[in-house]
Amino acid sequence: MSRKLIKIAIDGPAGSGKSTTARKVAKKLDYIYIDSGAMYRAVTLKAINQKIPTNKSQKIVEVAAHISIQFKQENSRTIVLMDGNDVSDLIRTPEVNNQINPVAANSEVRKILVKKQQELGKDGGIVMDGRDIGTVVFPDAELKVYMDASAEERAQRRHQEFKSKGISIAYDEVLQEVKTRDHADMTRQHGPLKIAQDAIVLDTTHLSIDGQVEKVYELAMQKITA
């Protein structure tokens, strides 16, 4: 008998560990992993490359409508392809972080990308992370997890990530960026960051990545074998 395929929605603020956890859980389950945030980042990067200000709403909608975004697994790494080019590292730069808020808050852009996300996950067997996966993209997901951690811990993780990539940026600047992003994500009109009613909340402040993965994997197996 074939194993039941479920949808797993993982939401949470920047730096909570959701993307790394989602990717590793997907690998353990042999599921498809989709980083929804990478899609908004790709739109932001394309706008920057085309010198389009991200607060120009209609121009950004046109970028989103005509962009091609694909995900490819390469060993344990997820490659993000924008119009056929690998932009996995380019979408994670401070420049993209600083300009993504108007893109993520754009209701028309969200409609376009949510439709793409729903198409990717319609048959189950998917782990998707973001900020509105359990509330907007897949309100019918069999497993919803909301991952959180203190702003200071999340900023520390981001700061280490930048350092490992050779990007020089002060910790205080990263912390302010995290807090600004949190506020923008939680207060935007469309698809705000919030905990789905039936989500399981997981505080990752003192949890290792392995601990996070094990916890979500256990929850997933409970749903799959139920």
Domains held by the chain: number: 1
For the beta carbon of residue 69, count every other beta carbon within 10 angstroms.
21
Q: Is residue 2 part of a domain?
A: no
Q: Is residue 46 part of a domain?
A: yes
The whole-angstrom separation of Cα 220 and Cα 71 is 22
Distance, CA of 21 to chain centre: 11
DSSP for 2-66, please give it.
Answer: PPPP-EEEEE--TTSSHHHHHHHHHHHHT-EEEEHHHHHHHHHHHHHHTT--TT-HHHHHHHHHH
Q: Is residue 152 part of a domain?
A: yes
Q: Is residue 51 part of a domain?
A: yes
Burial class (CB in 10 A: 0-12, 13-18, 19+), 3: exposed
pLDDT of residue 2: 59
For CA atoms 123, 127, 129, 133, the dihedral sign is positive
pLDDT of residue 66: 96
pTM, rounded to two decimals? 0.82
User: What residue numbers bound the domain in which 142 lies?
Assistant: 7-216
CATH number of the domain encompassing residue 139: 3.40.50.300
pLDDT tens over the chain, length 226 residues: 457 899 999 999 988 999 899 999 999 999 989 889 899 999 999 999 999 999 999 999 999 999 999 888 777 778 899 999 999 999 999 899 999 999 998 999 999 999 999 998 888 999 999 999 999 999 999 999 999 999 999 999 999 988 998 989 999 999 999 999 899 889 988 889 999 999 999 999 999 999 999 999 999 999 999 8
Q: Is residue 62 part of a domain?
A: yes
Phi and psi of 127, rounded to 5°?
A: -120, 120
Q: Is residue 221 part of a domain?
A: no
Q: Is residue 11 part of a domain?
A: yes
